[in-house]
Amino acid sequence: MQETSTLNKDQVVKELRYKAIRSGGAGGQHVNKVSTKIELSFDLAGSNGLSETEKDRLYEKLENRLNKEGSLLLQCDETRSQYRNKELVTQRFLNLLENLLKVQKKRKKTKPSKTAKEKRLRAKQKTAEKKAGRKKPDLD
């Protein structure tokens, strides 16, 4: 079983900052007037919704995605609706946090059983005999 973290989603969501900016791409004249792209920023160091161990774990796993101030930035411009983009980027952020905070259980090393080894060797021997039977016989 995987250990679950004590992520306080409500507290973390309250700490998110959103910024609406103009989105590029198709859309004609409308795209130049409306800011539908959403940029989400989350200050990892100043978060009260995460414990210190969770922060350390996130710093370790997100080190390449954090800016100089220690904030995580995510963007979404998939739809033409600012509201929908905000929902999508928030959901993406929460999924990212949950996946990074999961603690994988350690893998136990196992050995194949004696029966499994014997079965494998019998199968190899059978294949070898089958292939040996395809050869031309020696005329000596």
Q: What mean pLDDT comes out for the span 71-87?
A: 90
d(CA 124, CA 128): 6
Helix (H, G, I), strand (E, B) or coil at 38: strand
- Percent of the chain residues past pLDDT 90, beyond the cut: 39
pLDDT confidence bin for 1, thresholds 50/70/90: very low
Q: What is the reported pLDDT for 3?
A: 46
> CB neighbours (10 Å) of residue 85?
23
AA letter at 13: V
The residue whose two tokens read 């990212």 is 96
> CB neighbours (10 Å) of residue 73?
13
Q: What is the reported pLDDT for 68?
A: 87
Q: Are 72 and 42 in contact (CB under 8 A)?
A: yes
pTM (predicted TM-score): 0.68
Q: Longest Cα pair distance anywhere in the chain, in angstroms?
A: 92
Residue 5 above 80 pLDDT?
Answer: no
